[in-house]
Structure 1
Amino acid sequence: MPATTIPPVPHYEPAPVTQEDLDYADFPIIDISKAKTPEGRKELATVVRDAMRTYGFLYIVNHGLTDAENERMMDIANVAFTQVSEEEKTSLASKIKEVGSYRGYKLRQFWTIDNGVRDQIEHYNMHRRIFHQQHPKALQPFLPEMRAFTEHNFYNVLHPVLRLLALGLELPEETFVNLHNFDAEGESYLRFMKYYPRTEDDEVKTKNVWLKGHTDIGTITILWSQPVTALQIMSPDGKWRYVKHIPNGLVVNAGDSMEMLSGGYYKATIHRVVQPPPDQREYPRLGMFFFGSADEDVRLVPLAESPVLQRIGITRKCADEDAPTMGEWRAARTRAYGLSELRRRDDVVEEQVVKGVVVKHYS
């Protein structure tokens, strides 16, 4: 049998790792390969439960992709921004305001960050099935690899994490998995994302914040670690701390939908992006994400059958009868983010109401 030929791709050279002395958040590193056995899942479940209760964040290693495979996917991700014309990007722009979907390109300067400053963030969003949407010509040779990558994220990272979170609530292992079906309607998607350096004037006007503190929409977010250090989480003590780069590692966090389904037991992580440290400020920040969401028709009500919730009680964001479906919540949050009026509560927190739920943004 002849060897499979993969199409060539220009190599993306990432930024050097920062040498600055930064205040990093301290959360656990999970060897997800252990989740393949019942004994391993039992060992990991408590660690994952406590991390998602305390921080809403954890690191994952040994996920099954080699360093070389990771680097190739980053090379492919960069194609979406360097090998596609502005005209073609515009023709494939997301219908964010129209239908509440990120599918396609989110172009630069679409959102308002602060004091009239528009964002310098570009991303390309793909439905997890990959072949169910139109793609730019430059990416078409890589679609089979992109499909394999989404399947890897879905089955080898998302599903194992969901099983561990179910065990943490003393629920059957497949409880959350059964709400996340690859071929069902839903917006679990792959994102290639690039932040570009800003002017000093924009940095002053926004107090160096590139993306305000927020929580994610879906259940579980998977970020493929990259070296430009700009992501911060709000620690339990209320301080912003940096997320450290782990080569070929993943940063995983819970979103609003997981917090609602778990009755407040797992915390949707508050996180933001700020200007990188001085030794990385001239570099763009290229990243890959997989955003997990429950199937569109799943109503985001607490899983009250959990023995844990029956013991400690449930924290709701809204009454069960008013709870949105995953599809309703996704579309409403997508339409509102960066485009609708925020009400300032204090020097740090701004609020908006989406589908009857208070959504907070943090300076």
Structure 2
Amino acid sequence: MQVPVIDIAPYVRGGSAELRDRAARDFDRAARTVGFMQIVGHGIPRAVIEGFADALDGFFGLPLEMKGRYRTPPDVNRGYAPPKSESLSLSLGVTAANRMNDFFEAFNIGTAVSDYPGLDLPATDYAENVWPQRVPDFQRAVQTYFAEAGRVARALTTLFADALDLPAGFFDRFTDHSLDVLRMNNYALPPGTVDLDGDLTGMGEHTDYGIVTVLWADQAPGLQVLAADGRWHDVQPAPGALLVNLGDLMARWTNEEWLSTLHRVKPPIVNGTIQRRRSAAFFHDGNIDAVIETLPSCLGAGNKYAPVTVAEHIRAKLAGSRAGQANTNATREAARLARAR
């Protein structure tokens, strides 16, 4: 399986209609066949990424007890999540052991009620962020990267409209108060903190929930994507590239003409030693009150999905992964996983 490399510079810095059309068609081809792609020309300065990576190291290097002070309830998708407190496969209603067993730890931030003072938004979904004070410059570095990743995500939705032959600005009314979350992940834990009680799961099999995910990751093993051949394939980012994949809401909009690809993370173990692996996923999920229904141009012979609000979909997914309540509304994704080899 090949993960295509796509230059989105014409949508970031401005480019001719010909260059934009080429990028849109390349993305459309990848969205229909792989659902994962590498993007270059994203325009995020190297210094921003390096400062962000240093901030991740600073926080995840704190003692577990100190990180635990920033833990929030399962229904609040902010703050710290310790190892084995989540199970991503439950977002599909699927798990082998029916327990929270994912190996990673994470720290989440996102858009908050205070970012949209003129709107009456639900405080649980748009929760205020918590910021660790023991890591100098953490908040500034993370907010700077969050803004850059959001800019890239919005450039991509502009590209999506062109690729799907939709009117310019089509996605704007679905994303003008988008529920955006940045999830910072760490897979390399100190020796002795992981109980190897069976098959160790870095991050369980899942699809992403929203519109599009922009992923920064170390060039380290672990990420695997389920391809059309029913097999899991290793994926690592090229130097300077970001990984992009589509979420469930884009699959619903396009009636699965664009793919929300199943993926997982295996523990980054090389020659018996746990390797450092960090990643940060920016989830561009759309307005909580937006109704997602199949585009008329994608209905074809029939409609695979009923309309759903972003709130209904995201809450069911998070109740699985974070609160252990198996999602019963992901039967199509679960069936694909059952066929994997």
Amino acid at match of 2:187: Y
TM-score by length of 2: 0.81
Does 2:88 align with 1:93?
no
Task: Tell me the percent identity.
Answer: 24
Task: Give the letter aligned to residue 85 of structure 2.
Answer: F
Unaligned runs of at least 5 residues, structure 1: 1-24, 343-351
Partner residue of 2:142?
146
Question: Partner residue of 1:332?
Answer: 316
Q: TM-score, normalised by structure 1?
A: 0.77
Q: CA deviation at 1:46?
A: 0.9
- The structure-2 alpha-carbon separation of the partners of 1:117 and 1:316, relative to structure 1 and needing over 3 Å to count, comes to closer
Residue 19 of structure 1 is matched in structure 2 by none
Asked if structure 2 preserves the Cα contact closer than 8 Å seen for 1:214 and 1:270, the reply is yes
Q: Specify whether residues 358 and 75 from structure 1 end up closer, same or farther in structure 2 by C-alpha distance, changes over 3 A only.
A: same
Match of 1:118 among 90, 101, 109: 101
Any conservation in 2 of the 1:80–1:192 contact (CA below 8 Å)? no
More off after superposition, 257-266 vs 272-281? 272-281
Distance 1:217 1:117 in 2: 19
Change (3 A) 1:279 1:34: farther
How much has 1:190 moved relative to structure 2? Answer: 1.3
Structure 1 residues 103-157: Cα deviation after superposition (integer angstroms, max 9, x where no partner): 11111121357446733211000014698422111346332332222121112x1
Task: Give runs of aligned pairs for residues 244-283 of structure 1, distance below 5 A.
Answer: 244-276=236-268, 278-279=270-271, 281-283=273-275
Q: Which amino acid aligns with 1:126?
A: I
Match of 1:15 in 2: none
Quickly say closer, same or farther: Cα 1:300–1:228, change in 2 above 3 A: same
CA distance in 2, matches of 1:280, 1:231: 18
Cα deviation for residue 33 of structure 1 reads: 0.8
| C-alpha contact (below 8 Å) 1:164/1:173 kept by paired residues | no
Deviation per residue, 1:211-270 (Å, 9 max, x gap): 222111111111113121110101111111111231221000001111112222211011
- Would the alpha carbon gap of residues 237 and 202 (structure 1) be closer, same or farther in structure 2, given more than 3 Å must change? farther
Q: Distance in 2 between matches of 1:229 and 1:138?
A: 30
Report the number of matched residues.
312
Aligned residue number for residue 234 of structure 1: 226
Evaluate the alpha carbon distance shift between residue 88 and residue 331 of structure 1 in structure 2; reply closer, same or farther with a 3 A threshold.
farther
State the secondary structure of the residue aligned to 1:75. helix
For 2:318 and 2:332, locate their aligned partners in 1 and report how far apart those are by CA, in whole Å. 15
Is this contact kept in 2: 1:109–1:120, CA < 8 A? yes
CA distance in 1, matches of 2:2, 2:247: 19
Per-residue deviation at 1:42? Answer: 0.9
Which of 296, 300, 304 aligns to 1:316? It is 304
